[in-house]
Amino acid sequence: MAKYMLIMRETEESLAKFTDVDFDEAMNAMGKFNDELIHAGVLLAAEGLEDPKEGVVVDFTGETPVVTDGPYGETKELFGGFYILDVASKQEAIEWAKRAPLTAGRKTEIRRVPTIDEFPQDNEWIQKERAWREQTGQL
Amino acid sequence: MSGAEARGAVEAVWRMESARIVGALARYTGDFPLAEDLAQEALAEALVSWSVNGVPAEPAGWLLTTGRRRAIDTFRRRAARDEKYALLASDLAAEEPGADALFDPEAIDDDVLALMFISCHPVLAKEARIALTLRVVGGLGSDEIAKAFLVPVATIQARITRAKKTLAAAQVPFAVPEPHERAERLGSVLNVIYLIFTEGSFASGGAEWIRTDLAGEARRLARVLVQISPEPEVFGLIALMELTAARFPARLDASGRPVLLEDQDRRRWDQAAIRRGRAALARAAGSGRGLGAYGLQASIAECHAVAHSVAETDWQRIVILYEALGRLAPSPVIELNRAVAVAMASGPADGLELVEAIAARGELAGSHLLPAVRGEMLTRLGRRDDARSALLQAVALCGNAAERAVLQRKVDELS
């Protein structure tokens, strides 16, 4: 067994198209998929990220880290990994990111992870997922 | 699509779907050994067909339909000589339009649960239960299982064939056991999963990577089980395996030698596994029925997981947990572990007293564990000569080269 991360990449076009999609339908399809992963015993953790426009980039290109709003780079660029921090505010997250011992040229993108409370609570798949999160101590 | 690509695709789909396919076919035919054969035939057909036509849009459905067609063929063939099969064949053929209902999500859970109970059935020998579970529920091939257990492929194939014959002869029905039987049978399922885990966690040589895989597969099987049978002791077993696996990254040094608990770099312990283990343990404890043997062992593992060092470990609590475990599942090894905990909690003299009592009863004679622990305690008491002879005895009895080296180092330190 090995751990893999499935990184869901978005492009400007795919995000724009999402506004045409029926939200409930998309929720149910994804919920069903997640439920299958849970039943197969293969899901350890899963999080979706908020809109990249809400994100922040800390840029180490210059002498001091430069903070900019918005998404990082081209959609073809690769992720090297991610941290999940439990902090009180975006600013606090930015401060932690600035302290990371990163070499010049690297960037850290900061994105909020929405909680399950932000999704429609009357959706049956959300209720199932909530039960699973309670079971596995992820709430 | 090349043959190798098709093979990779078939193998991946098989790992994901075999339990559901065999389960659905067993429900369809009412015959578990036959269902397993049909599924294997469908798998063989997929290897040929997918390399020519590519992977179908719904691979699981494809395998199931193929298996079902083979079932009908089989019954038709047998119908020539048996009226019972003639009836079955016509029944199954008539059912065909609604056959997609086999993948009714409500039934899948019961199918997979029934598969687990059957492949861990008490009429089977321990080795057969393990092989059948890995093959049928885990979707591992005979070659993978053979590699993991360091035995020839033919041995595993023979075990599986014999197991299916035994199940057929004992007329084991394809069903989840009745409630009164269930607790007892669940114990066998948990035991098999734990045996798979321990086989994977003590790699003693050979293809080590696949053995670590085995420990992972055991955890996955337990996660499947807890979804369909959320009993407290299943959570207890998950907790024990997660908390044990959390230490895997720290238990070997750079040259592959075992590192003792007291010397392990605890920063390398897998914190996510610890978190999952503790969450599962909380669920096990939350039942209000008390912890079982797995839950108690998990609690002991938790004491280590939350401690920053050996010195800061809550040894008093570990002593109590070993006492509870000893009452639930008495064994000299547990007694010996309790003695170690007592030595840590209240000094080596108290621990040594317990070790001598075990030795006086003649238990664990021939095992290196007892003299190893005895030597450790005597060392701490400053009785160097006695310690040395105990450790030398342990070296002589120890069968594992890596462990023997650790013991020999302790002897050398005393010289």
The CATH number that applies at residue A58 is 3.30.70.1060
A137 part of a folded domain: no
User: Angle, nearest 10°, between helix axes B32-53 and B3-29?
Assistant: 150
Mutate to test the interface with B, among A37, A38, A129, A135 (most CBs of B within 10 A): A135
Contact partners, residue B301, CB within 8 Å, separation at least 6: B239, B240, B243, B244, B277
Write down the pLDDT at residue B280: 96
Task: Indicate the helix (H) or strand (E) that contains B299.
Answer: helix B293-306
- The Cα B67–Cα B200 span in angstroms is 32
B249 touches chain A (CB under 8 A): no
Write down the pLDDT at residue A139: 64
Shortest distance, CA B3 to any CA of chain A (angstroms)? 24
Tell me how far CA of residue B148 lies from CA of B88, B153, B199, B200, B245, in angstroms: 39, 10, 8, 8, 18
A103 part of a folded domain: yes
pTM of the shown model: 0.85
Is the confidence metric ipTM above 0.90 for this complex? no
Contact (CB<8Å) A1/B213: yes
- Domain residues for the domain of A22 are 2-108
Write down the pLDDT at residue A79: 67
Backbone angles phi, psi at B104, to 5 degrees: -60, 115
| Nearest neighbour of B224 by CB, restricted to A39, A45, A135 | A39
Write down the pLDDT at residue B243: 97
Residues from chain B contacting residue A44 (CB–CB below 8 Å): 272, 276
B217 touches chain A (CB under 8 A): yes
Tens digit of pLDDT for each residue in A11-20? Answer: 667 667 767 7
Residue B52: both structure tokens together: 């020519």
Write down the pLDDT at residue B96: 54
- The Cα B348–Cα B377 span in angstroms is 5
* Mean pLDDT to the nearest integer, A22-40: 85
Mutate to test the interface with A, among B111, B224, B238, B248 (most CBs of A within 10 A): B224
Give pLDDT < 70 ranges for chain B: 1, 85-86, 88-105, 202-210
Tell me how far CA of residue B51 lies from CA of A83, B12, B144, B334, in angstroms: 41, 14, 22, 54
Contact (CB<8Å) A44/B276: yes
A22 part of a folded domain: yes
- The Cα B327–Cα B320 span in angstroms is 11
Write down the pLDDT at residue A15: 67
- The Cα B390–Cα B373 span in angstroms is 9
Q: Identify the sign of the CA torsion B266, B270, B274, B277.
A: negative
- The Cα A106–Cα A63 span in angstroms is 12
Write down the pLDDT at residue B93: 62
Residues from chain A contacting residue B228 (CB–CB below 8 Å): 39
The residue ranking higher by pLDDT, A72 or B157, is B157
A132 part of a folded domain: no
Q: Which amino acid, A70?
A: G
Residues from chain B contacting residue A41 (CB–CB below 8 Å): 219-224, 227
A101 part of a folded domain: yes
* Mean pLDDT to the nearest integer, A7-36: 78
Task: Indicate the helix (H) or strand (E) that contains B340.
Answer: helix B332-346
Q: Which amino acid, B374?
A: R
Contact (CB<8Å) B224/A41: yes
Write down the pLDDT at residue B212: 74
Residues from chain A contacting residue B222 (CB–CB below 8 Å): 41
| Nearest neighbour of A1 by CB, restricted to B220, B222, B276 | B220
Residue B149 CB-density burial (10 A; 0-12 exposed, 13-18 middle, 19+ buried): buried
- The Cα B52–Cα A96 span in angstroms is 54
Residues from chain B contacting residue A40 (CB–CB below 8 Å): 16, 220, 224
Q: Identify the sign of the CA torsion B65, B70, B71, B76.
A: positive
A125 part of a folded domain: no
Contact (CB<8Å) B222/A41: yes
B230 touches chain A (CB under 8 A): yes
Shortest distance, CA B180 to any CA of chain A (angstroms)? 26
User: Angle, nearest 10°, between helix axes B232-245 and B208-228?
Assistant: 150
Tens digit of pLDDT for each residue in B214-225? Answer: 898 999 999 999
B272 touches chain A (CB under 8 A): yes
Residue B221 CB-density burial (10 A; 0-12 exposed, 13-18 middle, 19+ buried): buried
A138 part of a folded domain: no
Q: Count other Cβ atoms within 10 Å, centred on residue B230.
A: 13
For residue A61, pLDDT beyond 50: yes
Domain total of chain A: 1
B15 touches chain A (CB under 8 A): no
Contact (CB<8Å) A39/B109: yes
Contact (CB<8Å) B279/A136: yes
For residue A68, pLDDT beyond 70: yes
Asked whether the beta carbons of A129 and A34 are under 8 A apart, the reply is: yes
B44 touches chain A (CB under 8 A): no
Tens digit of pLDDT for each residue in B317-350? Answer: 999 999 999 999 899 999 999 999 999 999 999 9
Tens digit of pLDDT for each residue in A93-129? Answer: 887 878 777 666 677 888 888 888 888 889 999 998 8
A76 part of a folded domain: yes
pLDDT band for position A132 (50/70/90)?
Answer: confident
Place of tokens 């009592």: B357
* Mean pLDDT to the nearest integer, A29-49: 84
- The Cα A11–Cα A132 span in angstroms is 31
- The Cα A110–Cα A80 span in angstroms is 14
Range A16-54 burial, b when 16+ CB lie within 10 A, else e: eeeeeeeeeeeeeeebeebbeebbbbbeeeeeebeebee
Shortest distance, CA A23 to any CA of chain B (angstroms)? 24
Task: Say whether A109 sits in a helix, a strand or coil.
Answer: strand
- The Cα B327–Cα B367 span in angstroms is 22
List B residues 295-324 in contact with A (Cβ-Cβ < 8 A): none
Which of A94-99's residues contact partners 24+ apart within 8 Å by CB, and which partners? A94/A56, A94/A58, A94/A67, A97/A58, A98/A58, A98/A65, A98/A67
Shortest distance, CA A72 to any CA of chain B (angstroms)? 28
Mutate to test the interface with B, among A3, A28, A36, A39 (most CBs of B within 10 A): A39
Residue B97 CB-half CA count within 13 A = 1
Contact (CB<8Å) B280/A42: no
B110 touches chain A (CB under 8 A): no
